[in-house]
Structure 1
C-alpha cells in the first residue's frame, strides 16, 4: 500500500450544508432550485439539439453510489449504473456509505427531481474508499484499469494529492491512450500557487478548478489584512455589500455583551471566537451579530473553536421573530482565526468585501503552475454550493473541486454524443478553446495558473467546428 494519503476533494463545512439542503427540500420547486449550475454553463443549447449523454459511458472512481436513489435508477444493464466494482470489499456492489460518490454522480447523470449535466448517460462506478478520507494508490490504478476493460468513454476522478504520484499518472496516461477522456479535480489546496498534484497534474487529462455558482446564496467573500487573504464564508442571512468595508479589527472574545461592554468597537470589524467560555452555554451567531451591531461594529467574523471552517446561519428556529441581521457575519477557520488574533497586537486594519460573482474562482481551488510546458488547471467550472444527490435518497449542497470536475465530465458526454470520433486530445481542445474568460472583483482576468482558459461554456463547445491541437 502506498504511504501517500490521497483524499477526496470536497470541502467539509459542518452542518450548515445539511440545514440549507433541508430548506430546499421543503420547497415545491425543488427541481428548479437544484438545476442552476447546468444552465449557467450552457447546457440548454445541447439539450435543444437533442443531446443528453445517451450512449456515453462514464466511469466514476469514488466512494460508490446509492443505487436506491430515485434520481439514479438503480444498478444493472437496465439501470443508470450498468456496472462497476467495490475494491474496498472486493465485490460487485459499490454501495456508497459516505455520500461523496453519490454527490459526484448526481452532478453528472441524475435524471429525476435533479437533472445532471448528461442525464441519459450510463455509469460505471468503482468504489475505492469507504470514508472519503483516503485511498491507497493501488486501488486507484485498479479502478482506472477496470474502466478501460469495461469500455468507459470518460473517467471522472475527484480525488488527489498535492504532490506527484508517478504510478497514478501512468495509469491515467494509459487510459487516455485507450481513447478515454479523463477528467480530474484540481484540488482544494488553494489559494497558494503550485498546489496541483496527481492525477490532476497529468498533462493529458483535463484538470478542473472551481468557481462559485449561479444561485443567490453563492456569495463571494474576501477578507484581507496587509495583502494576506483569508478564506471566509458569509453566514446564511448575510447580504452582499455595496462597497468594501475597511476598518480596524478588534478582538471581542466570544461576542457576548459582557465581552464587548468595555471595548470601543464602533466602526470596527469585530473578530470573535465561536461558542462560549462557559461550559454548555449556547451563544448563537445571531446573538453575536446583534451584540456587535448594537455597539456599532461594521461587521463580525466568527472563527471556529475546533479545527477547520464552518458554515453558519443567522436565521434559525430559536431566533426572535423580529430579528433581522444588520451587519455582515462571516465564518473563519480556527487556524486562520488564531493567526488574525495574533496580528491584532499591531492594531491592524482589514478589508472585507461580499459580492455576487458566479464566475469568481473559489479561494480553495488549487492553483498551478505545474510545468513551464503546459497549462494547469485547464479550465474551471461551478464547484461551490452545488445542489446534488446524496445517500439515503437525499439531496445536499456541496463545495469543492470534486464537484466542478463532474460538470466537465457531463459536458464531455454531450459533445461525444454529437461526435463519437473525437479523440481525448480533440475533446480537451474544444472545451478549453470555447471557455469563457473569468475575472476577479476588479474586472481583471484571472491568471492562467488560477483559472486555466476560463469557465466551461457547453453552448459554445457543442457548436465548435475548429479543433486546435
Structure 2
C-alpha cells in the first residue's frame, strides 16, 4: 500500500474487504487498483469504492471477503478459581510479574488508580488507539498506517500533568475495556474489596475504532450501536504480538468481543490468526463464548430428502434491519422459500454456484437481498445470506427444502448482541451452537461464565459445540457480578462471558509467570495452559464431560498445581 492511499483506511467512501492470498503475491496483483494492504502472510485488505456496485460483493469476493462485525460480550471470583489459596503458598505467590496481558477492546482509562503501580507510574506498557489518527502509528511487520501509539513513557508524562488528556488523549468512553483490564490485572483497592487476578502484570491495550459506516449499513446495524470490524481486531492482535516480541515478554491476549456471523467453525481471518499466534511459545489466548444462549437467535434442523422444514421468525416492531445466515452441510443442496407477514411469497432460488437477488415487497417497505453461495470457500458449506431492510413486523416464514438423496443438517443464525432487537427471534429456537466467534476456534481457551456465589452456569453463556466438531467451551470461570474498576475512578460489577475471559486471562498470566518467567516450562503456549488447567478443573460427578455447557469444568488453578505436584 502506498502512503498516499492511507486516507482510504479511515474514509467511509471505501469499504474494507479481505483477500486470502496465502503468500502468492500474484493473487494480489489482480487487486492493485484497490490499494492492496498486506496484513500478514495469509491475508491482505483492499479498499473498495462504495461508489461502485456493492450488491455483488459476496459473489465477487466471497462470503469471507466482507469483514464480520463484532459486539461487546460483557454486561467473589479469586477464591472460587483457586487464586487466593495459591497465593497463600509462598512458593507460588504468582501475581503476573514479568507477563503482559493484552486487550483488543474499547481502550482503557489509564488515569484510574487500578492501573498504577505503588510509585504512581503506569502499569500500561503501550496503547494503540485506532481512533486517533495523528500518529505515530505503530511499527509492525506489516504497517497498519492508522491510529496512534502511546508508550509507557508518554503515559507517565501525562500522569504528571495537570491535564493528562492533553498529553495522551486516549480515552475509554464505553468502560468495557477498562473493566476487563481491571478484572485481569487491576491493582488492589481494599476499600472496594477489589484486586485483579495478576496485579503485578503489565498491560498492552488496543482501542478499537468504530466499524466504518458503509459496513454497518451493509449489514443494517443501527448507526448508534457499538460495533467493531474484523480487520481492525486482526490488526490489534498483531500489534499485541509484535509489541510483546519487542519487549521480550510473554503475552496473554484476551478477546472480549464476538460475532454470530459465519459458519461457527475454525475458519476465517481472525480464527486463523489466533490459531497461528496461539501456537507460538510465550503467547496465550483467551476468548469469550458470548451471551447468546437464551437470545433465541439460532435455529437448527436435520433435513431429509423430499421433506421441508418450516422456520418461523418473529420480527419486532420498528426493527431497523438485520442479516440472517443459513449454513448447510453437504452433500445436500438447500433452497429456501419465503413468506412475508403480509402474505407475499418469494420462491426458492437454486441455480448455479452463485446467485444474487433483491426483492422489494409490494405491501410494505421491506427490501430483501439474497445471496446464495453453493460452496463457501473457507468451510465448504453452502451459505444463504439474507439481508432484510425495514422488515415488516410479524411472523416471517421460511421453508427450507433440499435437493439430494442423503439427509443433511443446517443452522441459521441471527446477529448477536444489540445488532438486532431482543424481540426479533425464532419461535422454535435452539440454545446450542451459540458460541460467538472467535470462540469456535481450535487453539484459544474458550471461556464460559458461571456464578461463583451459587455455582450455577450464567444462563446466557454461549453453548457448544462448534460446527467443526471442536470441543468448545473449554472451561468455566467466574463471570457474574464481578467487581471491577470503571470510568471516573469508580468501581462497579459486571456480568458476562467477557468478564470470565478476562478472569481466565489473569489465571493464564499466573501460569506463564511460573512456566516462562520462572523458567519451569519456558516453551509454554496456549495449548500448554489449556491442558494444564483442564486437568485440575472442578467437575460435577452427575455430568458427562466434555460438556456443551461447561466444557471440561470450572477452572481451579490451585488444584491444577496440586495435581501436578502429586505426580512429580
- TM normalised by structure 2 equals 0.50
- Partners of 2:131 and 2:196 in 1: CA distance: 27
Q: Which deviates further from its counterpart, 81-90 or 181-190?
A: 81-90
Please say if 1:10 is aligned against 2:74.
yes
Deviation track 1:175-208 (CA, whole Å, cap 9, x = no partner) reads 2133311100011111410111321111001100
Query: How far does residue 379 in structure 1 lie from its aligned partner after superposition?
Result: 0.8
68 and 438 in structure 1: CA distance in 2 versus 1, 3 angstrom threshold: farther
Query: How far does residue 50 in structure 1 lie from its aligned partner after superposition?
Result: 2.0
Partner of 1:201: 440
Q: 1:436 aligns with which of 538, 542, 560?
A: 538
Q: Which has the higher strand share?
A: 2
Provide the aligned C-alpha RMSD in A: 2.6
- Partners of 2:209 and 2:87 in 1: CA distance: 34
97 and 132 in structure 1: CA distance in 2 versus 1, 3 angstrom threshold: farther
Query: How far does residue 171 in structure 1 lie from its aligned partner after superposition?
Result: 1.5
368 and 145 in structure 1: CA distance in 2 versus 1, 3 angstrom threshold: same
Q: Which has the higher contact order (CA 8 A, sep 6+)?
A: 1
Partner of 2:278: 176
Deviation track 1:271-316 (CA, whole Å, cap 9, x = no partner) reads xxxxxxxxxxxxxxxxxxxxxxxxxxxxxxxxxxxxxxxxxxxxxx
372 and 171 in structure 1: CA distance in 2 versus 1, 3 angstrom threshold: closer
Partner of 1:108: 184
Partner of 2:298: none
TM alignment of 1:84-123, pairs within 5 A? 84-89=127-132, 90-93=147-150, 94-113=170-189, 114-123=194-203
195 and 122 in structure 1: CA distance in 2 versus 1, 3 angstrom threshold: same
**Secondary structure at the residue paired with 1:143?**
helix
TM alignment of 1:132-211, pairs within 5 A? 133-151=226-244, 153-164=251-262, 166-179=268-281, 180-191=283-294, 192-211=431-450
Partner of 1:15: none
Note if contact 1:84-1:126 (Cα within 8 Å) is conserved in structure 2.
yes
Note if contact 2:96-2:199 (Cα within 8 Å) is conserved in structure 1.
yes
Q: How many positions carry a matched residue from both structures?
A: 298
- Partners of 1:112 and 1:77 in 2: CA distance: 13
77 and 146 in structure 1: CA distance in 2 versus 1, 3 angstrom threshold: farther
**Secondary structure at the residue paired with 2:507?**
helix
Partner of 1:332: none
Q: Which deviates further from its counterpart, 39-48 or 76-85?
A: 76-85
Partner of 1:379: 475
Q: Which of the pair has more CA radius of gyration?
A: 2
**Secondary structure at the residue paired with 1:427?**
helix
Note if contact 1:98-1:132 (Cα within 8 Å) is conserved in structure 2.
no
Query: How far does residue 92 in structure 1 lie from its aligned partner after superposition?
Result: 2.4
Structure 1, unaligned stretches of length 5 or more? 12-35, 215-356
Note if contact 1:158-1:402 (Cα within 8 Å) is conserved in structure 2.
yes
Partner of 1:47: 87
- Partners of 2:491 and 2:121 in 1: CA distance: 23
Deviation track 1:294-350 (CA, whole Å, cap 9, x = no partner) reads xxxxxxxxxxxxxxxxxxxxxxxxxxxxxxxxxxxxxxxxxxxxxxxxxxxxxxxxx
- Partners of 1:170 and 1:4 in 2: CA distance: 14
**Secondary structure at the residue paired with 1:156?**
strand
TM alignment of 1:425-464, pairs within 5 A? 425-438=527-540, 448-464=547-563
Query: How far does residue 88 in structure 1 lie from its aligned partner after superposition?
Result: 2.3
Deviation track 1:119-177 (CA, whole Å, cap 9, x = no partner) reads 11111001114698210111100011111101151100011112336011112122213
Query: How far does residue 448 in structure 1 lie from its aligned partner after superposition?
Result: 0.7
**Secondary structure at the residue paired with 1:366?**
coil
Partner of 2:78: 38
- Partners of 2:187 and 2:499 in 1: CA distance: 17
Q: 2:499 aligns with which of 389, 400, 403?
A: 403
Deviation track 1:213-238 (CA, whole Å, cap 9, x = no partner) reads 32xxxxxxxxxxxxxxxxxxxxxxxx
Deviation track 1:388-414 (CA, whole Å, cap 9, x = no partner) reads 010111111111101000111100111
Please say if 1:65 is aligned against 2:108.
yes
Note if contact 2:106-2:208 (Cα within 8 Å) is conserved in structure 1.
yes
Structure 2, unaligned stretches of length 5 or more? 1-15, 17-65, 133-146, 151-169, 211-223, 245-249, 295-430, 517-521
- Partners of 1:383 and 1:56 in 2: CA distance: 23
- Partners of 1:419 and 1:376 in 2: CA distance: 25
Note if contact 1:8-1:132 (Cα within 8 Å) is conserved in structure 2.
no
Deviation track 1:363-384 (CA, whole Å, cap 9, x = no partner) reads 1000011046431000111111
Deviation track 1:3-31 (CA, whole Å, cap 9, x = no partner) reads 532101023xxxxxxxxxxxxxxxxxxxx
